[in-house]
Structure 1
Amino acid sequence: MQEGPRDATILITGWFSFPDGEATAGDVLALHRVEAVLRRASVAYDVAWSPGFRPGALHLDEVRAERYTRLVFVCGPLHGPQVERLHEQFSHCLRIAVGTSVIDPAGPAAAGFHRVLARDAPAARPTWDLAARAPTLPARPVVGVILTHGQHEYGPARRHDVVAKEVTGWLHGKDCAPLELDTRLDTHDWRLCATPAQLESVLVRLDLVVTDRLHGMVLALRAGTPALTVDPVEGGAKVTAQARACGWPALVPAERLGPRELDRWWDWCLASGRVSARQLREEFAEGAGKDGAQGLLEALRHPAR
């Protein structure tokens, strides 16, 4: 159990506190706004978190309710048995809800609070959501993730599943905004791009792409976005060959895959990799290299016999 300072008599709760609740970005930003106000006023407080979201933090089932004299509930709707149970658990406390939605003012969840500073309620003028004025956060890298579990044509040399597990496990510990992408186009599934232009419009806005696909790398570089690339085939195959053809250095062979190697190229991509990727984009546009199309007309005129 982890609890705050001994002089903290205020416990902050919200939907992010319930064991079977969820922590949304809006809820947590609303909490940050409340915390900023309390800190400026030098008011001590504790925060109760869902054990599924923050296992090592203070949890409601570990709280000694008698320590607190005031309970603050932040954001979300005042509705349901979970909120109602807070009134029972902290019946001795002054209970205040802030930045919440009130659906039924007479219902036990809402009526159990001594004061409700609602963002919206029947017959009341709405106010800004707390998240709108939360402290500004530093930007994090936006990282596209393009992985494949297929390519069975490589037989026993395939390391695709191992690579995907290693890469996604490593990414889980990175402070970034991950965006799962697919190079597969689909005109019926709204979750997938329907044209190359749509996908390129996403890639050009990213800080980095992490991929084990040939086209994941090529399309990222075509957009001027650095690609941390892993070849998922033991001994190297088309991904390694294409990285060599493009002169792209941020390539990790399946045999050398590990956090240290991934970290090294992550740092390079986010530092100087952008310049190198943009240079390649210009080379692609100018036709500085060779591809198979250049020999196509000759092959059509003079097919091999």
Structure 2
Amino acid sequence: MRVRPGSGPGPRALLTGWFSFVDGEATAGDVLALRRAEEVLERSGLAHDVVWSPGFRPGALHLEQARPEEYTHLVFVCGPVHGPQVEELHRRFAHCVRIAVGTSVIDPGAASVTGFHRVLARDAPDARPVRDLSARAPALPALPVAGVVLTHGQHEYGRRRRHGQVADRVTGWLAGQDCARLELETRLDARDWRLCATPAQLESVLARLDVVVTDRLHGLVLALRAGTPALAVDPVEGGAKVTAQARACGWPALVAAERLGPDALGEWWDRCLTTGRTAARRVRAEFAAGAAPDGAEALVEALAGPGPL
């Protein structure tokens, strides 16, 4: 239940945090801590509202819109109780009972801390720590985890390249899906901790995903090798190696650059997340069994053949 200011008499709390400031940020932990605080207030029947940073939730209530006279309490949730932005809350909501909950206290004597009537800290100097509010936040639904493997290169295709447009459309569409997105690279690098150093490391990641969205040949093949369904997009007009490889692997979840749109992506997305795992594991088994030639068998024959004239 979200109660708007001015909806009736009685106590009303304004919930704030670092997620409320214009130049603040909303972390997953902060938002879960907020959900825990809201859960407790809703159970007690205390009317409340939440203020968000306009950069994070443009359509929500923002601090400059909140009218201090319509609140009896101000609650600051999670994060460090520190700095001028917190001190400004004390000045603006001076008439409110001000409480900090689930916060970290760095300097107990700071004005940002002493301005609260009560500080229910998760950690403070010379105090026993308590668990963060996020630990007991309401349970969340399990969402699909999508690995995203895209390329902006492959200039050898010249005027047929649609890589930029494909990446923009795919990532723009993915941003609207309720899923966890994980950007991945097939490039290996033993010096960069952000990249996998061995194929085994990358395969271990791919095997744990629900789906891979890719416009790369090896994004497609390595996902299937790991038994994970791939939603493949060929970024070359008219089709090129991604289309050829999908055909060679018998994998149908392929969208051409010319037909790329939310309908096509959505259809294959749904199929990948329903029947796709079974289909991908079937392809993985075919890979392992060597059910189709891959050219390596002919290599020995080619090496044994006559050399150049």
Same fold (TM over 0.5): yes
Tell me if the contact between 1:185 and 1:194 (Cα under 8 Å) persists in the aligned partners. Answer: yes
For 2:15, give the aligned amino acid: I
For 1:298, give the aligned amino acid: E
Rate the CA distance shift 1:95–1:303 in 2: closer, same or farther, 3 A: farther
Structure 1 position 304, deviation (Å)? 6.9
- Mapped to 2, the partners of 1:165 and 1:185 lie a distance apart of 24
**Is 1:121 paired with 2:124?**
yes
Q: Which 5+ residue runs of structure 2 have no aligned equivalent?
A: none
Find the partner of 1:270 among 270, 273, 276: 273
**Equivalent position SS for 2:213:** strand
For 2:230, give the aligned amino acid: A
- Mapped to 1, the partners of 2:162 and 2:219 lie a distance apart of 17
> Which residue is equivalent to 2:181?
178
- Mapped to 1, the partners of 2:61 and 2:186 lie a distance apart of 42
Structure 1 position 53, deviation (Å)? 0.4
> Which residue is equivalent to 1:300?
303
| 1:174-253 aligned within 5 A | 174-253=177-256
Tell me if the contact between 2:3 and 2:48 (Cα under 8 Å) persists in the aligned partners. Answer: no
> Which residue is equivalent to 1:68?
71
For 2:18, give the aligned amino acid: W
1:82-107: CA deviation from partner (whole Å, max 9, x where unpaired): 11100011011000000000011110
> Which residue is equivalent to 1:284?
287
- Mapped to 2, the partners of 1:121 and 1:187 lie a distance apart of 40
1:220-275: CA deviation from partner (whole Å, max 9, x where unpaired): 00000000000000000000000000000000000000011100000000000110
Tell me if the contact between 2:143 and 2:179 (Cα under 8 Å) persists in the aligned partners. Answer: yes
- Mapped to 2, the partners of 1:36 and 1:169 lie a distance apart of 33
Q: Number of paired residues?
A: 304
Find the partner of 1:149 among 133, 138, 152: 152
- Mapped to 1, the partners of 2:291 and 2:124 lie a distance apart of 63
Q: Which 5+ residue runs of structure 1 have no aligned equivalent?
A: none
Q: Percent sequence identity over matched residues?
A: 72
| 1:93-112 aligned within 5 A | 93-112=96-115
- Mapped to 2, the partners of 1:275 and 1:16 lie a distance apart of 41
1:85-140: CA deviation from partner (whole Å, max 9, x where unpaired): 00011011000000000011110001100000000011111101000111110111
Tell me if the contact between 1:30 and 1:131 (Cα under 8 Å) persists in the aligned partners. Answer: yes
> Which residue is equivalent to 2:4?
4
> Which residue is equivalent to 1:22?
25
**Equivalent position SS for 2:47:** coil
Structure 1 position 38, deviation (Å)? 1.0
TM-score, structure 2 normalization: 0.97
Tell me if the contact between 2:12 and 2:46 (Cα under 8 Å) persists in the aligned partners. Answer: no
| 1:152-163 aligned within 5 A | 152-163=155-166
For 1:77, give the aligned amino acid: P
**Equivalent position SS for 1:175:** coil
Structure 1 position 146, deviation (Å)? 0.2
Structure 1 position 58, deviation (Å)? 0.3
Tell me if the contact between 1:3 and 1:58 (Cα under 8 Å) persists in the aligned partners. Answer: no
- Mapped to 1, the partners of 2:88 and 2:171 lie a distance apart of 38
Moved over 4 A (4+): none
**Equivalent position SS for 2:170:** helix
- Mapped to 1, the partners of 2:64 and 2:277 lie a distance apart of 48
1:204-235: CA deviation from partner (whole Å, max 9, x where unpaired): 00000000000000000000000000000000
The root-mean-square deviation of aligned C-alpha atoms, in Å, is 1.2
Structure 1 position 303, deviation (Å)? 3.9
Tell me if the contact between 2:224 and 2:230 (Cα under 8 Å) persists in the aligned partners. Answer: yes
1:161-204: CA deviation from partner (whole Å, max 9, x where unpaired): 00000000000101000000000000111100000000000000
- Mapped to 2, the partners of 1:206 and 1:304 lie a distance apart of 46
Tell me if the contact between 2:150 and 2:216 (Cα under 8 Å) persists in the aligned partners. Answer: yes
Tell me if the contact between 1:84 and 1:108 (Cα under 8 Å) persists in the aligned partners. Answer: yes
